[in-house]
């Protein structure tokens, strides 16, 4: 039951920006894919962005061009830069990792960090 610790969520106005951080308790080098996922009220958890150890990225269509995922293996950190935020981005954001693309999530889902976009 290893959890990642997400932080950085906040209440922000439409068009604003946030930078989310995800801290792992140990090395993440074995996680070929690290990613951010979100869950809005009444909806399923969905992929936001993923990044591989070689830098390849994958974004949900809804966030392409607005969000940027990055990882720092040396510091065991994963980041998500959220720009041009929209009402629809309101959700709890979680991070997790996969040893292989499309494989099972390695970490237990934590509490996530709340992003609320409101005017």
Q: How many C-beta neighbours within 10 Å does residue 102 have?
A: 6
CA-atom Rg of the chain in angstroms:
13
Instruction: Rounding to the nearest 10 degrees, give the CA dihedral for residues 91, 83, 21, 43.
Output: 20
Phi, psi of 42 (to 5 degrees): 75, 5
pLDDT at residue 1, as a whole number:
74
For residue 109, give both structure tokens.
């889902």
pLDDT lower than 50: segments of the chain: none
What mean pLDDT, rounded, does the chain reach?
Answer: 96
pLDDT at residue 2, as a whole number:
85
pLDDT at residue 119, as a whole number:
95
Angle at 9 between CA 74 and CA 117, to 5 degrees: 140
């Amino acid at each position: 039951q290893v959890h990642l610790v997400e932080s950085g969520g906040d209440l922000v106005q439409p068009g604003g920006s946030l930078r989310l951080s995800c801290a792992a308790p140990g090395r993440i080098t074995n996680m070929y894919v690290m990613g951010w996922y979100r869950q809005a009220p009444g909806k399923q958890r969905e992929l936001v962005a993923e990044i591989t150890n070689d830098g390849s990225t994958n974004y949900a269509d809804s966030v392409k061009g607005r969000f940027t995922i990055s990882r720092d293996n040396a510091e065991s950190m994963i980041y998500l830069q959220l720009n041009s935020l929209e009402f629809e981005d309101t959700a709890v954001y979680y991070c997790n990792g996969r040893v292989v693309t499309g494989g099972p999530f390695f970490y237990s889902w934590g509490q996530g960090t709340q992003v609320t976009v409101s005017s």
